[in-house]
Amino acid sequence: MRNEEIYKELVAICGEKNVLRDEPLKDHTLVKIGGKADLLVMPETYEAVAQVIRLKEAHQLPFTLLGNGSNVIVLDGGIRGIVMQFKHLARLRVEGNQLIAQGGANIKDASRLACENSLTGLEFACGIPGSIGGAMVMNAGAYGGEVKDVIDHVKVVTQQGELRTLKKEELELGYRTSIISKNKDIVLEAAFALEAGDQAAIKEKMADLTFQRESKQPLEYPSVGSVFKRPPGYFAGKLIQDSGLQGKGVGGAEVSTKHAGFIINKNNATAADYIATIEMVRKKVKETFGVELELEAKIVGEEVK
Ligand SMILES: Cc1cc2nc3c(=O)[nH]c(=O)nc-3n(C[C@H](O)[C@H](O)[C@H](O)COP(=O)(O)OP(=O)(O)OC[C@H]3O[C@@H](n4cnc5c(N)ncnc54)[C@H](O)[C@@H]3O)c2cc1C
């Protein structure tokens, strides 16, 4: 099936304004890197999501899901086939002590809404710049809290286009992993089980976590956050710092001088610069400490041909 025909089918499912051709993905990733998507589709309903999945399955089309783009590096050649994003599936609501969030909502906004409703449990997420879907897949966490602690259930579409509800016990949430990432399910909605709390205390905790984050992380530059997973028994940032890599990099990418676990896009970095900096860091840390750093960020797309 040619891109023109796929485009028409996608427009029939999602509407013309929700299907973009040759869309630069550097505008959709927080690190501001990446080539173009052949087709970027932004469905408005769960049924439209399932229909797009069934279309790509029927024609075996390449398919990539993007959340807020806070933990992905899109290569400079861009992404072929269909890229899906949940910009229009981002509603949040509170029912009793449950907060229900659509896959495209920001987890930061969920944290803020919980606070407004004096519900405690999501304070840890107040500075995580990901979507609910991305946070579920990665079991996002910060400052001692993680999604695993508060999730109740999740609604997903499988790669076969079936709608399913998964209970917490079925999610197999581990360090930056879940059954959702293993099965490549698509998160439509997540329900968090929170507890009634004291709003002033919730606010204070969020302010404290925000202060800690702003003082330690280079939030003034685009980045993917922590590039590497925490190796067992070590901290990636400390290993990188002790390898003398801060301030070093390739092209416009640089290991942050504020937090060595971050590689910043300092000056119009390309994905090639960013990846070369990652490889430089991995090599040096392996030589110095014998530790293999594993990527937390995901690399998607293809190199320039
Ligand atoms: C400055 C900064 C600070 C950060 N701090 C933290 C932190 O404290 N803790 C932490 O855990 N992370 C942190 N991150 C990383 C990132 O925010 C999280 O990993 C987040 O969960 C990724 O969500 P996203 O929506 O941006 O996903 P993306 O980066 O867009 O995608 C990540 C993965 O999730 C998948 N995905 C996205 N949406 C869905 C969906 N609806 N269904 C199924 N799969 C989906 C994608 O296919 C991809 O594989 C930080 C990042 C930055 C830039």
Q: What is the pTM of this model?
A: 0.95
The span from the CA of 275 to the CA of 168, in Å, is 35
Could you tell which of 128, 184, 187, 263 is best to mutate to test the pocket of ligand 1, judged by most ligand atoms within 8 Å of the CB? 128
Percent of the chain with pLDDT over 70: 100
51: pLDDT strictly greater than 70 = yes
147: pLDDT strictly greater than 90 = yes
Inter-CA distances, 243 with 206, 223, 236, 294, Å: 33, 21, 11, 16
- pLDDT for 161 equals 84
Cα 2 to averaged position of ligand 1 atoms, centre (Å):
31
- pLDDT for 217 equals 96
What is the per-residue pLDDT across 148-170, written as a single tens digit (0 to 9) for each? 999 999 999 998 888 999 999 99
Length of the chain: 305
Q: How many helices (H) and strands (E) does the chain have?
A: 9, 18
Atom of ligand 1 nearest to the CA of 188: 41
The span from the CA of 203 to the CA of 201, in Å, is 5
Q: Span 66-90, mean pLDDT?
A: 97
Atom of ligand 1 nearest to the CA of 134: 23
pLDDT confidence band for 3 (50 / 70 / 90): confident
3-state SS assignment for residue 260: coil
Percent of the chain with pLDDT over 90: 94
- Rg from Cα positions in the chain: 20
What is the per-residue pLDDT across 175-220, written as a single tens digit (0 to 9) for each? 888 999 899 999 999 999 999 999 999 999 999 999 999 999 999 9
- pLDDT for 176 equals 84
Helix, strand, coil tally for the chain in percent (to 5): 35, 25, 35
Q: Which residues line ligand 1 (CB under 6 A)?
A: 30, 65-72, 86, 103, 128-131, 133-135, 137-138, 140-142, 180, 186-187, 217, 219, 223-225, 298
- pLDDT for 277 equals 98
The span from the CA of 8 to the CA of 236, in Å, is 46
What residues are labeled active site? 176, 226, 296
What is the per-residue pLDDT across 258-295, written as a single tens digit (0 to 9) for each? 999 999 999 999 999 999 999 999 999 999 999 999 99
- pLDDT for 159 equals 87
- Spatial CA neighbour of 186 closest among 214, 210, 212, 163: 163
What is the per-residue pLDDT across 216-237, written as a single tens digit (0 to 9) for each? 999 999 999 999 999 999 999 9
Q: Span 45-70, mean pLDDT?
A: 95
What b/e sequence results for 50-75 when a residue is b if at least 16 CB atoms lie within 10 Å of its CB, and e otherwise?
Answer: bbbbebbeeeebebbbbbbbbbbbbb
- pLDDT for 1 equals 66
pLDDT confidence band for 305 (50 / 70 / 90): confident
What is the per-residue pLDDT across 90-115, written as a single tens digit (0 to 9) for each? 999 999 999 999 999 999 999 999 99
The span from the CA of 268 to the CA of 97, in Å, is 44
